Amino acid sequence: MDDLRQKYIDLVASAPDESALEDLRVQAVGKKGEISLKMRELGRMTPQERQVAGPALNALKDEINAALAAKKAALADAALDERLKGEWLDVTLPGRTRRHGTIHPVSQVTEEVTAIFADMGFSVAEGPQIDSDWYNFDALNIPGHHPARAEMDTFYMARAEGDNRPPHVLRTHTSPVQIRHMEQHGAPCRIIAPGRVYRADYDQTHTPMFHQVEGLAIDRDISMANLKWVLEEFFTAFFGTKVITRFRASHFPFVEPGAEIDIQCSFEGGTVKVGEGDDWLEVLGSGMVHPKVLQAANVDPDQWQGFAFGMGIDRIAMLKYGIPDLRAFFESDLRWLRHYGFSALDVPTLHGGVSR
């Protein structure tokens, strides 16, 4: 019996895993195990022999069962230790930072422009980027022979042969929104219309797609003086410094009189500084809305008059934030976007982020 005890104690101690342990259990104390077979022999013994062997066999069985249970627990502990080692985690390590996206300068400046004009009572209107040539040209008093209609500036939509719908273009300016807005809402009105426009042009200051903001104010007695005040008020708020404007007579078919507007700036030291110096920078076209334009939009030119202007959003964004090349605006280079982009929390308001 001592041999038997020693054999199983040693085997249990060296069992490598739970399944080996289970095999041992069957082999020793299972129904046909070695100990069980020995117990069957008790029946053939004399009562005296049985009185000694019975308790001894029972004790041996208990001892082996206890050794099996202890080994099983030890194996489970070891397995848990092993797993914990693999799942070790240093909770004191700094977290991985996640990149935040940025707001594109065009979006930011559009919001800034909107906030400033909203404060002066202008609401925002929008129109389609693909428009008929009537809205983009005819209604704006741009006759068929005007150079702005030449194929080289304007992107025309392809039309299948036999398609009789009027020609459509990628709008070349935001001015068609003037017509669409007045058609729908009549006069008086005071709106700005920011959005994308398209022209076949590409160099450091021109891209085939760019952004404009249109302005339109129609009432009974609106004059060029109102235009000048509104623009100077706008530029002063936008650039955060007193900005004066210079009106130069110019021609746009949809205004009379028409003017190109320059803002005061200095080019000293190779950088542009707005609001100081003796130089001028052209930033927009404007004028008094032509009577034919009012008529095209079903507004009576004998009752109503007003001003319109069109300004390049990308242009004033470059000026305000010192961005040298327009083409980079639309290349989606992440390095550029991270450098010139704005935090989503930097929301433009008149008292906060508009100028800095």
Phi then psi for 333, rounded to 5 degrees? -80, 120
Binding of residue 309 to ligand PHE (CB under 6 A): yes
Q: Are the beta carbons of 313 and 106 closer than 8 angstroms? A: yes
**Residue 286 token pair:** 């404007």
Instruction: Between 154 and 175, name the residue whose CB sits nearer to ligand PHE.
Output: 175
Residue from 235, 252, 329, 342 in contact with ligand PHE (CB under 6 A)? 252
**Distance separating alpha carbons of residues 171 and 123, to the nearest angstrom:** 21
Instruction: Between 285 and 341, name the residue whose CB sits nearer to ligand PHE.
Output: 285
In the three-class reduction of DSSP (H, G, I as helix; E, B as strand; rest coil), residue 81 is classed as helix
Q: What minimum distance in Å lies between the beta carbon of 165 and ligand PHE?
A: 24
**Residue 230 token pair:** 């509104």
In the three-class reduction of DSSP (H, G, I as helix; E, B as strand; rest coil), residue 72 is classed as helix
Binding of residue 305 to ligand PHE (CB under 6 A): no
Instruction: Between 232 and 282, name the residue whose CB sits nearer to ligand PHE.
Output: 282
Q: Which stretch in 5-13, 59-67, 97-105, 251-259 sits in contact with ligand PHE by CB under 6 A?
A: 251-259
By C-alpha distance, which of 169, 179, 129, 156 is closest to 289? 179
**Distance separating alpha carbons of residues 46 and 14, to the nearest angstrom:** 37
Binding of residue 285 to ligand PHE (CB under 6 A): yes
Q: Which stretch in 31-39, 305-313, 318-326, 336-344 sits in contact with ligand PHE by CB under 6 A?
A: 305-313
Using the 8-state DSSP alphabet, how is residue 158 labeled? P
Tell me the site size for ligand PHE, rule CB under 6 A. 11
Instruction: Between 25 and 290, name the residue whose CB sits nearer to ligand PHE.
Output: 290
Residue from 287, 306, 341, 348 in contact with ligand PHE (CB under 6 A)? 287
Binding of residue 105 to ligand PHE (CB under 6 A): no
Q: Which stretch in 33-41, 130-138, 265-273, 279-287 sits in contact with ligand PHE by CB under 6 A?
A: 279-287
In the three-class reduction of DSSP (H, G, I as helix; E, B as strand; rest coil), residue 64 is classed as helix
Cis preceding-peptide flag for 188 (omega within 30 of 0): yes
**Distance separating alpha carbons of residues 137 and 263, to the nearest angstrom:** 28
Q: What minimum distance in Å lies between the beta carbon of 260 and ligand PHE?
A: 8
Q: What minimum distance in Å lies between the beta carbon of 273 and ligand PHE?
A: 25
Q: How far, CA to CA in Å, does 104 sit from each of 37, 132, 328?
A: 86, 30, 11
Instruction: Between 25 and 315, name the residue whose CB sits nearer to ligand PHE.
Output: 315
Q: Are the beta carbons of 194 and 313 closer than 8 angstroms? A: yes
**In the complex, residue closest to ligand PHE by CB:** 310
**Distance separating alpha carbons of residues 209 and 172, to the nearest angstrom:** 9
Instruction: Between 304 and 309, name the residue whose CB sits nearer to ligand PHE.
Output: 309
Give me the 116-155 binding string for ligand PHE, x by CB under 6 A, dash otherwise.
Answer: ----------------------------------------
Neighbours of 117 (CB within 10 A): 22
Q: Which stretch in 42-50, 85-93, 227-235, 306-314 sits in contact with ligand PHE by CB under 6 A?
A: 306-314
Neighbours of 3 (CB within 10 A): 7
Binding of residue 255 to ligand PHE (CB under 6 A): yes
Using CB under 6 A as the binding rule, the residues of this chain from 166 to 195 that contact ligand PHE are: 173, 175
Neighbours of 315 (CB within 10 A): 19
Element holding 103 (H helix, E strand): none
Residues that bind ligand PHE (CB under 6 A): 173, 175, 252, 255, 258, 285-287, 308-310
